[in-house]
Amino acid sequence: MEQHLFVISLDALGALDLKDTSELPVLRELIQTGTHIQEVETIYPSLTYPAHTSIITGHYPTTHGIINNTKIQPEKDSPDWFWYKKAIQVPTLYDLAKEKGMTTAAFLWPVAAKSNIDYNIAEIFPNRFWLTQMMVSLHASSSLFLIDMDRKFGHLRKGINQPELDIFLTASVVDTIKTKKPTLLLTHLVDMDSMRHAHGVHSTEAKAALKRHDNRLAEIIQATKDAGIYENTVFAILGDHYQINVTHAIRLNVLFAEKGWLTVVDGKITDWKVYAKSCDGSCYIYTKNEKHNQEIEFLLQSINEIEEILSTKELTRRGADSQATFMVEGKSGYYFMDDIDGPLYEKVTEETLGKPGYYKAVHGYSPSKPDYKTTIIFNGPGIKKGEKIAGAHLVDEAPTFARILGLQFPNTAGTVIEALFE
């Protein structure tokens, strides 16, 4: 019988979320009858797109190429995200699966637009005024499959709002399991991440989203039973990063403009010698030459709200972008914005919440921040029952997934988590 692997990402799921599963019966059952790797160290910067690419390649951002959520496009009001699979510079899990003739499906999996996945609903949004959501989604996804899912379940959506988007997505996943029985299925559910950004890490809204996720997992598991593939399916329930509550935003580009390192015309950056590119809790500093590097470092050292300044060598060692000159890490409570439309420091208030760029909690911080680990549960045939493993790294997940499907990466930074197998 064919082995199936269903990877279900609960965006922003942290290790702390599973300390008490008394109100999460499905997750509790999966832990009790499977293997729970309690603390997983994410990558740097701990953002959704770099993390999800590490999850399915086994490499750090500096190698796989997805070094941020968005591209360096300071001249644009809204920079493009790394939506398209062509940006990934190493083999992916679904590439290996396709080479062996396996059927693949993905639902809002980051950086999978225009990929070779058989049944793909791409994560993308219209970033130009002349585009519509349906236009970009049809272009980036498996168009006939998307049309079919929208015809069946489009009434469940309210644009990209949560929790309705995850309700639509779960219905599509359930239908696909029953009708397509894919070998490899990748699902990215964002309800809890959205609630944490808007309301805070430990908010009632975030807790309610996790309970909704628990119910969604029940639906997905039941679908495998209805499809007759439950006994041959391994489930991997994981997070990509955690979040930290914030109170203030920092706009380093305001400081750089004052220094004359940025040219601003009509409120827009038209040219730059030094540029701060936000990763929310951390921030890349790019320079076009080394002329200002020492002055930049002195300037950054004078900012009390910055916890750490990393050199190119150090951030490369940590797996971040080797093209950046510095990476700065915000103290807990602070995060970074790209724009220059506002003061250097700004308190996040109830009035600004809901506007673009304003949050109650963010991620992107160093994986070594305290109480910042994510987690993963494996459950299914060949997986030890009732096993707990203290820790692993996010890059270990891809080679482990490959092992489950009888595949092997040519090389990865991560290693197979041998201890979870019977």
pLDDT digits (tens, 9 = 90+) for 89-135: 999 999 999 999 999 999 999 999 999 999 999 999 988 878 888 89
What confidence score (pLDDT) does residue 172 get? 98
Residue 397 is predicted with a pLDDT of 98
Give DSSP secondary structure letters for 220-274. Answer: HHHHHHHTT-GGGEEEEEE-S---EE--EEE-HHHHHHHTTSEEEETTEEEEESE
pLDDT for 224: 98
Q: Which residues of the chain have pLDDT under 70?
A: none
Using DSSP's 3-state secondary structure scheme, residue 31 falls into: helix
User: Exposed, middle or buried: residue 395 (CB in 10 Å: 0-12, 13-18, 19+)?
Assistant: buried
| Residue 61 · residue 43 · CB < 8 Å | yes
- Which tokens hold the place of 271? 């040219």
What are the backbone dihedrals phi and psi of residue 386, each rounded to the nearest 5 degrees, phi first?
A: 70, 20
Instruction: Tell me what pLDDT residue 37 has.
Output: 98
Q: What is the pLDDT of residue 77?
A: 80
CA distance 121 to 131: 18
The whole-number pLDDT of residue 103 equals 98
Letter string b/e over residues 156-186, b meaning 16 or more CB atoms within 10 A of that residue's CB: ebeeeebbebbbbbbbbbbebbeebbbbbbb
How far is the C-alpha of 288 from the C-alpha of 290, rounded, in Å? Answer: 7
Per-residue pLDDT tens over the stretch 313-334? 999 999 999 999 999 999 989 9
Q: pTM of the full predicted structure?
A: 0.97
Residue at token pair 């062509």: 86
What pLDDT does 223 receive? 98
pLDDT for the residue 75? 87
Using CA atoms, how far apart are residues 95 and 408, in angstroms rounded to an integer?
11
The model's pLDDT over 15-58, given as tens digits with 9 standing for 90+, comes to 999 999 999 999 999 999 999 999 999 999 999 999 999 999 99
Token duo for residue 292: 């200002």
